[in-house]
Amino acid sequence: MATPVPDRGDAPTTPPAARKRRSDGGGRLRELDGLRALMFIVVLFHAYQASVGDLSLHAFRDYSPPGVVFSGIDGLLPLFFLLSGFAVYYGLGGAALAGKRLPGSRDFLFKRALRLLPVYVVIFLVVWVWRYGGGTSQWLDLVWGLSLFQSWSTEHIFRTIDPGWYLSVEWQFSLVVAFVLLPWMRAISSWPMRSRLAGMLAPPLIFVAITIWWKSSLIARGVPGSEFGSWFAPPSWAYLYGMGMLLGLALLVRRPDRWRLPRPFPTLVVVAGTSWLVWLSSARLGTSLFVSQWFFELSFLTPLSWIVGALTADPRGWMRGFLRSPVVQLLAAASFSTYLIHAPILRSLNERDILPMDIPALWPFSAMALVLVVVPVGLLAFRYVEQPLSGLDRLFQPKLDRELQITKVSTPTLAAGTVLPDVPVTDADGRARSVRGLTGPGGLLLLVHPSDPVPSGHPALQGTRGALRAFDSSQSAAAGFGIRMAALSPRVPDEADLGAPPHPADEALDDAVVHLQDPKAAIAQGLGLLVVRTAGGQQQPEIALVAIDASGTVVGVARDEDPHRLVRRGLDALADGADPRTARVPAGVGD
pLDDT exceeds cutoff 90 at 232: yes
How high is the pLDDT of residue 579? 41
pLDDT of residue 539: 77
Tally the C-alpha atoms within 13 A of residue 123's C-alpha that lie toward its C-beta.
30
Whether residues 171 and 202 share a domain: the answer is yes
Whether 120 maps to a domain, the answer reads yes
Domain count, the chain: 2
> Do 416 and 556 have their domain in common?
yes
- Share of residues in the chain with pLDDT > 70 (%): 80
Q: What is the mean pLDDT of residues 350-361?
A: 76
Whole-number Å distance between alpha carbons of 411 and 406: 14
Do 64 and 166 share a domain, yes or no? Answer: yes
pLDDT level of residue 202 (50, 70, 90 thresholds): very high
Query: Could you tell me if residue 590 is inside a domain?
Result: no
- How many whole angstroms from its chain centre is CA 393? 19
Q: Give the rounded distance of the alpha carbon of 410 from its chain centre.
A: 35
Question: Over the stretch 415-471, which tens digit does the pLDDT of each residue have?
Answer: 788 787 766 666 555 566 777 777 778 888 888 888 767 777 778 878 877 887 788
Shared domain for 122 and 244, answered yes or no, is yes
Domain assignment present for 542: yes
CA neighbours closer than 13 Å in the CB half-sphere of residue 10: 5
End position of a domain, from candidates 368, 390, 412: 390
- Which residues span the domain enclosing 346? 30-390
Question: Where a domain ends, among 390, 415, 431?
Answer: 390
User: Residue 507 in contact with residue 27, Cβ under 8 Å?
Assistant: no
361-409 per-position pLDDT tens digit: 777 788 888 888 888 988 888 888 888 877 676 666 566 666 677 777 8
3-state class percentages of the chain: helix first, strand second, coil last, to nearest 5: 55, 10, 35
Residues 196 and 322 in one domain: yes
According to DSSP, the residues that pair with 533 across neighbouring strands are: 408, 539
| Alpha-carbon gap, residue 437 to 355, rounded angstroms | 70
Whether residue 16 is contained in a domain is answered as no
Taking alpha carbons only, the member of 349, 336, 330, 328 closest to residue 385 is 336
Give pLDDT, residue 419: 81
CB neighbours of residue 213 within 10 Å: 12
Domain membership of residue 59 (yes or no) is yes
In the prediction, which pLDDT does 54 show?
59
pLDDT-derived band at 516 (thresholds 50, 70, 90) equals low
